[in-house]
Amino acid sequence: MNWSTTTIAIYGLTALGAVAVYLLLPRAGRSARVAGTLLGLAALAGLVVLSLRSFAIPGSEDFYFYLLAVLALTSAAGVITQRKAVYSALYFVLTVVAVAGLVVLLEAEFLAAALIIIYGGAILVTYLFVIMLAQQEGQPLYDRRVRGGWWACVAGFLLTATVASALSDFLLLAPVVAPPMTVEVANTDRLGLVVMTRYMVVLQAAGILLLLALVGAVAIVRKRYPHLETVERPLPAIGQAGREAAPF
Amino acid sequence: MVDWLVIQFHTQLGFSIVLLLVVIPAVLTGVGYSTYFERKVSAWLQDRHGPNRAGPLGLLQPVADGVKFLLKEDFMPAGADRPLYILAPMLSMGIAMLGLAVIPWGGSYQPAGLAEPLQVQVAGLDIGLLYLLAVGALGVYGVVLAGWSSNNKYAFYGGLRAAAQMVSYEIPLGLSILVIVLASGQLRLENIVEQQTALWWGFLPQWNIFLHPVSFIIMFTCVLAETNRAPFDLAECEQELVGGFHTEYNAMKWAMFFLGEYTHMIVGSAFMVCLFFGGWHVPGLAAEQTTLWGVLLQLAVMGAKISIFIFVFMWIRWTLPRFRFDQLMRLCWKGLLPVSLALALVVVVELFFNVPRSYWSLIGEVGVVAVALVAVSLFRIPVTGRQWYLPDLDNRTPLRGGSV
């Protein structure tokens, strides 16, 4: 295997980031938050310098790319290093917004809007709802500390480092050039065309999967009351449904 | 210097910046006077005078209120989550104002000697409509976080209710907008408006309200719910929750929630005006006016249409009683959601037969409502009210030593 300096740098910086995240994880005792923050900032700065030196892609959006990428990474670290679950959910929202910004830089506005509407607007509000419902009175001990943090950091380091170095080899071999816009079709139209022609089967399969999940969720939450199901009640007259209790 | 400024004004960026500097103060003033208007409308509906002490007709009341908000003592409840407690009103107001960026306020302006007309819009996005939806979807965080961070049970319940309500009403809102998107084939708000400027039989403007009245009613209901307005203001209902999510807020932080709510109302009204009432289109005039006076007229017409909507919001608030929470949920999931799904399906069928935006749209919409009414009355589907068909469920858990 050919260990180029770039690969070594990527491995080193990712390891630094992993150590930083490990130090930041909430523990029973005191977490080394200052040291973790400093190490994490150093790792981020190193990654930014490395990508500026090695894969500088000319373009005016470079600054925004680095801004949004750093925001996404720091808020993703915030998701797992916060003690309060509500803060974790909020950092998750920030991650989603930053990633949506990155997607906008790739000129995929529809995807960005969908990301914010679905993740930021619906799923994370539901998370927040559940977290708030479950944790009204402080937090139990087992929610305030991390378990298996060491292994999680090692696994995360390995995954990130291998994927990043593989991508960097690919980028070094052939600098990515954005394909020129040949057809004057709006972004959303193109997405629709691709989804409804090339990925039609996948789309249908995803739809069926979601429907099954919905039915499953209803089946799980539905309570059965066998001793009550035999109750016979007279049907109310047409137009009188729900009016059996007089308001006054 | 003046020449340079004039040249910059005649580029889209410069024009957008000037427009932004005009729109934000105008909307904030409008928000201030909406609070005055709200109190006047409630007074008229209740046979009172309303504010009439500060200035002629009480017109300086918003100024007096603003001064009061700024000068009040700003305290924080003990045990509040400090960062989120401060962040919540900022989110509430900031996110509501983001929506102003994509509203087409007055068509396009063509100064003499310029090749391209200037859009009277801060940012003409390809996905303007989705942007508005996304911004609206993020709007709930202010209320939810206010409820959570105040360390108050009533505020907390207000936040929970707001979260459940907004997530639910987002779905029929999106579906009723989808009807217009499919029928017009556009995601740019300005194109949707332009499509509505033609006339039928030489006098009737081709506004979407005439084609999709039911979608409009659903969207209007959902916008009421999204802006937390009565009869959907369960997050802040005084009788049950003191003040709901803003129980623990005072001074300017409290005011920011209401600036946010009224801004949200203005953006929501502008959104509905653009989708269903032809945006800046002046009913008497067939084509778009691009002269200075024409654009000013269109801006005035847009403002008038938005004002009418805001008046209707207030009229509803002071007329209808509030929903109960289970009625609110049932109305959304069993009433609005199936109907709006059916409407989207009908539009797809119209597209298949290549007759969108024709009298078939109206027939389809009315047909869906007729079928829904027949189904509700024949099968006795409870859309609101009690679930009478369920047996009496006794979910109470007996306490130790007691009995249910």
Q: Which amino acid is at A129?
A: F
Residue with the bigger pLDDT between A73 and B118: it is: A73
Q: Is the pLDDT of residue B291 over 80?
A: no
In angstroms, rounded to a whole number, what is the distance separating the alpha carbons of residues B268 and B313? 11
Phi, psi of B92 (to 5 degrees): -55, -45
Please report the pLDDT score of residue B404 as a whole number: 47
Percentage, residues of chain B above pLDDT 90? 9
Question: Does the beta-carbon distance from B386 to A117 stay under 8 Å?
Answer: no
Q: Are residues A168 and A203 in the same domain?
A: no
Q: Are residues A121 and A190 in the same domain?
A: no
Question: Does the beta-carbon distance from A129 to B380 stay under 8 Å?
Answer: no
Q: What is the mean pLDDT of residues B220-246?
A: 82
Of A142, A159, A176, which residue sits at a domain end?
A: A176
Question: Does the beta-carbon distance from A241 to B144 stay under 8 Å?
Answer: no
Does any domain span residue A241? no
Please report the pLDDT score of residue A211 as a whole number: 94
- The nearest CA of chain A is from the CA of B173 a distance in Å of 12
Q: Are residues A152 and A205 in the same domain?
A: no
Question: Does the beta-carbon distance from A109 to B133 stay under 8 Å?
Answer: no
- The nearest CA of chain B is from the CA of A242 a distance in Å of 5
Could you list the pLDDT tens digit for every one of the 248 residues in chain A?
A: 456 777 788 888 888 888 888 888 877 666 677 777 888 888 888 888 777 776 655 554 577 888 888 899 889 988 888 877 888 888 999 999 999 988 888 777 888 888 998 888 888 888 888 887 776 556 666 666 777 778 888 888 889 888 888 877 766 655 555 555 555 556 777 788 888 888 899 999 999 999 999 899 888 877 665 555 555 666 666 666 666 555 54
In angstroms, rounded to a whole number, what is the distance separating the alpha carbons of residues B156 and B85? 12
- Among chain B, residues having any CB pair with chain A shorter than 8 Å are 81, 84, 125-127, 130-131, 133-134, 136-138, 140-141, 144-145, 147-148, 156, 159-160, 163-164, 166-167, 170, 174, 187, 377-378, 380, 382, 384-386, 388-389, 391-393
Among B148, B380, B388, the residue with its CB nearest the CB of A244 is B388
Residue whose entry in the numeric block shows the structure tokens 């039609």? A200
Contacts of A151 (CB under 8 A, 6+ apart): none
Whether the Cβ atoms of residue B249 and residue B158 lie closer than 8 Å to each other = no
Query: What integer best gives the mean pLDDT of chain B?
Result: 83
- CATH number (domain holding residue A74): 1.20.120.1200
Could you read off the pLDDT of B154-164 as tens digits, one per residue?
888 888 888 88
- Please calculate the CA angle B37-B43-B47 and round it to the nearest 5 degrees: 150
Could you read off the pLDDT of B332-356 as tens digits, one per residue?
888 888 899 999 999 999 888 888 8
Q: Which residue of A has its CA nearest to B185?
A: A189
- Please calculate the CA angle B2-B3-B7 and round it to the nearest 5 degrees: 115
Please report the pLDDT score of residue A106 as a whole number: 78
Q: Are residues A216 and A122 in the same domain?
A: no
- For residue B81, which of B33, B7, B145 has the smallest C-alpha distance? B145
Interface test with B, best of A92, A125, A185 (most B CBs within 10 A): A125
In angstroms, rounded to a whole number, what is the distance separating the alpha carbons of residues A220 and A237? 33
Q: Residue B267: count other Cβ atoms within 10 Å of its Cβ.
A: 26
- The nearest CA of chain B is from the CA of A11 a distance in Å of 36
Lowest mean pLDDT among B6-10, B215-219, B374-378: B6-10
In angstroms, rounded to a whole number, what is the distance separating the alpha carbons of residues A53 and A9? 12
Lowest mean pLDDT among A181-195, B38-52, B127-141: A181-195
Question: Does the beta-carbon distance from A121 to B159 stay under 8 Å?
Answer: no
Surface-to-core class of residue A39, CB atoms within 10 Å of its CB (0-12 exposed, 13-18 middle, 19+ buried): buried
Q: Are residues A139 and A189 in the same domain?
A: no
Q: Are residues A135 and A52 in the same domain?
A: yes
Q: What is the mean pLDDT of residues B139-143?
A: 86
- The nearest CA of chain B is from the CA of A33 a distance in Å of 18
Please report the pLDDT score of residue A210 as a whole number: 93
- For residue A84, which of A119, A134, A12 has the smallest C-alpha distance? A134
Assess A110–B contact: CB distance below 8 Å, yes or no: yes
CA A96 to chain centre: 6
Q: Are residues A30 and A82 in the same domain?
A: yes
If pLDDT is split at 50, 70 and 90, which confidence band does B242 have?
Answer: confident
Q: Are residues A196 and A118 in the same domain?
A: no
- For residue A167, which of A59, A15, A16, A55 has the smallest C-alpha distance? A55
Question: Does the beta-carbon distance from B380 to A231 stay under 8 Å?
Answer: no
Tokens matching residue B249: 């807020």
DSSP labels, A147-204: SSHHHHHHHHHHHHHHHHHHHHHHHHHS---PPP--S---HHHHHHHHHHHTTHHHHH
Sign of the torsion formed by the C-alpha atoms of A87, B83, A68 and A26? negative
Residue A191: domain span: 184-225
Q: Are residues A97 and A209 in the same domain?
A: no
At B204, is the secondary structure helix, strand, or coil?
A: strand
Question: Does the beta-carbon distance from A86 to B148 stay under 8 Å?
Answer: yes
Question: Does the beta-carbon distance from B167 to A90 stay under 8 Å?
Answer: no
Q: What angle, 0 to 180 degrees and rounded to 10, lies between the N-to-C axes of helices B153-184 and A124-134?
A: 160
In angstroms, rounded to a whole number, what is the distance separating the alpha carbons of residues B311 and A246? 33
Does any domain span residue A232? no
Residue B393 DSSP one-character state: -
Q: Are residues A49 and A110 in the same domain?
A: yes
Q: Which residue of B has its CA nearest to A133?
A: B160
Could you read off the pLDDT of B183-213 as tens digits, one per residue?
888 888 888 888 888 777 777 788 888 888 9
Taking CB atoms and an 8 Å cutoff, what residues of chain A touch B161? Answer: none
Does any domain span residue A13? yes
Of A149, A176, A203, which residue sits at a domain end?
A: A176
Taking CB atoms and an 8 Å cutoff, what residues of chain B touch A82? Answer: none
At A65, is the secondary structure helix, strand, or coil?
A: helix
- For residue B189, which of B265, B269, B278 has the smallest C-alpha distance? B278
Give chain A's domain count: 2
Assess A128–B contact: CB distance below 8 Å, yes or no: yes
Interface test with B, best of A129, A189, A196 (most B CBs within 10 A): A129
- For residue A187, which of B102, B130, B294, B78 has the smallest C-alpha distance? B130
Q: Which amino acid is at A92?
A: F
Residue whose entry in the numeric block shows the structure tokens 């509906």? B45
Does any domain span residue A199? yes
Q: Residue A205: count other Cβ atoms within 10 Å of its Cβ.
A: 11
Contacts of A181 (CB under 8 A, 6+ apart): none
Q: Are residues A216 and A169 in the same domain?
A: no
Cross-strand pairs, B118: B109
Does any domain span residue A240? no
Please report the pLDDT score of residue B387 as a whole number: 52
Residue with the bigger pLDDT between B118 and B91: it is: B91
> CA torsion angle for B351, B356, B359, B364 (degrees, to 10)?
50
Does any domain span residue A79? yes
Please report the pLDDT score of residue B190 as a whole number: 83
If pLDDT is split at 50, 70 and 90, which confidence band does B385 have?
Answer: low
Q: Is the pLDDT of residue B17 over 50?
A: yes
Q: Are residues A172 and A196 in the same domain?
A: no
Sign of the torsion formed by the C-alpha atoms of B212, B131, B33 and B91? positive
Tokens matching residue B154: 């009533």
